A and B are shown apart, each in its own frame.
Chain A
């Protein structure tokens, strides 16, 4: 499937997921196990995406300027910076690390 195909499929799945919430019987909300799984999957995915975007390069694990970006973002978040500032801190840190010779 082409990139456009995957994009539209992802859009359809997202819309269907949201709408399903309005259509399914609300007693599903009383199932704590289901809610716990949905919550832990959200956290696990975001942690995995953070890890991959920091150290993965194809099928290799590398330490490069993105580690500096992650550290800078953590510091910004610790000081309760808004999201956009956190992202900018990551970009600036990675660019600076490369200027200083990091891969």
Chain B
């Protein structure tokens, strides 16, 4: 099959455009959090996981320490390790391809691959979405960082409000049932209660511990929160017959 005729490649590329574009908001917020252009680019090139990148700069913007920023970003990235296990079963990459596959293992590439049934299509979808997001996310990160540096005082332009909105936007698609909503509300309350008593950044880590305890106690269905936060196949028309997500 020609690449241009592959449904998985089409889906992968369209999600790459949608996701890549919001690299603009990351670039702008990163600069307003105090990082320079090169530091911002390092995060998008090397860390390359939207949620963790926003977490890193979000903690710093609130006055948190580098250690708190690193911890929040690392904990939020755990799901990428789980995605890696799923993709290793699906794609079985070998040699240098395994390193490349690991780097582009993110919500978007996982969602595109697991939405297909044919192994060849899964592979094409994964690489189209992964590489597509990687290129566009980095291009738009640079644009956003230049834009952020040009506009000066972030609060005047509401960029601090944009950060709050961005995190709600990342959380929202993961709340599909009562249990994750309960976890989210409890963790938000614990965070706000902790703010006056511990250094900035630490309340977020306390919330992570509370969330882990809630998970251990059995709150929430098994895969809740671990589904990719994007659904590249919203209409059944785009889905190949019988396609299902991994169990």
A interface, by DSSP: helix, strand, loop or mixed?
helix
Contact check, A86 vs B46: say whether CB atoms are below 8 A apart.
no
Counting residue pairs across A and B whose Cβ atoms lie within 8 Å, the total is: 347
User: Mask for A69-86, Cβ within 8 A of B = 1, else 0?
Assistant: 110111011000011101
**Known contacts being A14-B77, A94-B158, is A52 close to B204, with CB within 8 Å?**
yes
User: Mask for A33-58, Cβ within 8 A of B = 1, else 0?
Assistant: 10111111111111111111111101
Most A-side CB within 10 Å, residue of B76, B101, B166, B203: B166
Contact check, A22 vs B88: say whether CB atoms are below 8 A apart.
yes
- Chain B, interface residues (CB within 8 Å), range: 35 or more
CA A43 – CA B179 in complex, angstroms?
11
Contact check, B74 vs A10: say whether CB atoms are below 8 A apart.
yes
Other than A37-B212, A51-B189, A52-B195, give 11 A-B pairs with Cβ distance below 8 A.
A6-B66, A6-B69, A14-B73, A18-B77, A32-B222, A50-B164, A53-B160, A65-B158, A73-B164, A74-B168, A94-B155
Which B residues lie at the A interface, using CB under 8 A?
A: 18-19, 21-22, 24-25, 34-35, 39, 42-43, 46-49, 51-52, 54-56, 58-63, 66-67, 69-70, 72-89, 93, 98-99, 101-103, 105, 155-172, 174-175, 180, 183-192, 195-200, 203-204, 207-208, 210-212, 214-216, 218-226
